Structure 1
């Protein structure tokens, strides 16, 4: 089985693949101070609950946008699974598609994985929207080349900034609006309308501009934790694929083996 680890700014997602299927997944808050030993205690217990033996892991691949956390996952792989993990974008797991931007090395591994998986699954020009700590919009052309994109504050970051910089506004949860009206009748509703519908308007506007600049039909793929929530309130997404980044890791690991 493949152990795929996606280290984001907010959460670390561990996924076990059997072939192309995810058999188990677990999530833990990202903390660069958490050691490989601590990850092992947590992960091995969860594997045991699922009846998965440690020696069932035959390959490990890691994607990280948190450089300080890298060593801890090297320790996890080498000490507890007796293998040196692959790191997305490096060595045998290097990117094998064009990254057509001014500074290719600055592209985050998660965004590159999304581009890789999106092109492998879908033909034509693509726009990938990933809802993470930041919300990213990535353009992949019909040949699979990464052409650039947009980075916007994630909706939770926007809400945190609003609450932290005001004295009286309460903290609210991001959820589906309670009515179709955009005229809020109390403070909480007004905040939800502003953050939620404001975010939908931002996404729809940016995607419209991206499509116009691409100049060819482009399908929009949404991924990340909030993709399903927003999909209920906009027609802008053609495909919702919550596992796009993990599937990119699995695809990269498979290609590394066949080299």
Structure 2
């Protein structure tokens, strides 16, 4: 099986992929100081709870937007799984799509992987909205080329900044509101409205502007852990696919036909 590792700014997702199926996934907070040994202890326990051991992993691919985390993940692959990890966007695991932007080297691995997976699943022009540490809006054209996009603060970042900067404001949970009213009657409700409905308005407004600029029919694909939360109160998404980045890693692995030692 393939161990696909998506290392983001907030969390690292480890997914066990068997053919086209994601059979298990685990998440840990991103900490570039975490060693390969620490990852191995954690992963071994989770594999055991799932009735598996390390021997089921015959390949490893890593996609990361945190360069400092890469080395220890590569050591993990070699030391504990006996394979050399492929790194998305590097060498044999090059993306294989056009990065039609001014700074192609600066395109995050997650955005390129999302483009690969979204284009494979959906024909035509696409906007991929990924809810992570940052909220990204990416345009993928009908040929599969990455054309650019938008980077905005993620909802958790926005809430953290608000609570940190305003001493009297409480920390609130990010959740879909019970009411659709946008007139809050207390501080917590007003914050909830501002964060949640403000984010919905941003999503709908930016997607509308992107569609107008593209000028052709566009499908909107949402991914990331909070995608389902926003899907409840907007019609802007055509599809919600939470595992888009992991799917892109698995597709890139198969596309490059990388072989590894057992």
TM-score under structure 1 length normalisation: 0.99
Kindly indicate whether residue 41 of structure 2 is the aligned counterpart of residue 41 of structure 1. yes
Equivalent residues in 2 for 1:62-101, closer than 5 Å? 62-101=62-101
Residue aligning to 1:252: 252
Query: Over residues 152-210 of structure 1, what are the superposed CA-to-partner deviations in whole Å (9 max), with x where a residue is unaligned?
Result: 00011001111100110000010111211110010000000011000000010000000
The alpha-carbon deviation at position 54 of structure 1 amounts to 1.3
Residue aligning to 1:172: 172
Q: Tell me the distance in 2 between the aligned counterparts of 1:180 and 1:82.
A: 53
Q: Tell me the distance in 2 between the aligned counterparts of 1:49 and 1:238.
A: 36
Q: Tell me the distance in 2 between the aligned counterparts of 1:178 and 1:250.
A: 38
Q: Tell me the distance in 1 between the aligned counterparts of 2:41 and 2:237.
A: 39
Q: Tell me the distance in 1 between the aligned counterparts of 2:74 and 2:58.
A: 15
Gaps of 5+ in 1: none
TM-score under structure 2 length normalisation: 0.98
Number of aligned residue pairs: 259
Residue aligning to 2:53: 53
Residue aligning to 2:202: 202
RMSD (Å), alpha carbons: 0.9
Residue aligning to 2:113: 113
Kindly indicate whether residue 135 of structure 2 is the aligned counterpart of residue 135 of structure 1. yes
Query: Over residues 110-161 of structure 1, what are the superposed CA-to-partner deviations in whole Å (9 max), with x where a residue is unaligned?
Result: 0000000000110000000000000000000000000000000001100111
The alpha-carbon deviation at position 53 of structure 1 amounts to 2.2
Residue aligning to 1:123: 123
Gaps of 5+ in 2: none
Equivalent residues in 2 for 1:14-33, closer than 5 Å? 14-33=14-33
Q: Tell me the distance in 2 between the aligned counterparts of 1:62 and 1:210.
A: 30
The alpha-carbon deviation at position 258 of structure 1 amounts to 6.6
Q: Tell me the distance in 1 between the aligned counterparts of 2:17 and 2:258.
A: 17
The alpha-carbon deviation at position 77 of structure 1 amounts to 0.4
Q: Tell me the distance in 2 between the aligned counterparts of 1:174 and 1:101.
A: 34
Q: Alpha carbons of 1:225 and 1:87: their partners in 2 closer, same or farther (altered >3 Å)?
A: same
DSSP-derived class of the 1:203 partner:
helix
The alpha-carbon deviation at position 19 of structure 1 amounts to 0.5
Q: Tell me the distance in 1 between the aligned counterparts of 2:164 and 2:63.
A: 31
DSSP-derived class of the 1:9 partner:
coil
The alpha-carbon deviation at position 215 of structure 1 amounts to 0.5
Note if contact 2:92-2:258 (Cα within 8 Å) is conserved in structure 1: no
DSSP-derived class of the 2:257 partner:
helix
DSSP-derived class of the 1:16 partner:
strand
Residue aligning to 1:235: 235
Q: Tell me the distance in 2 between the aligned counterparts of 1:180 and 1:135.
A: 23
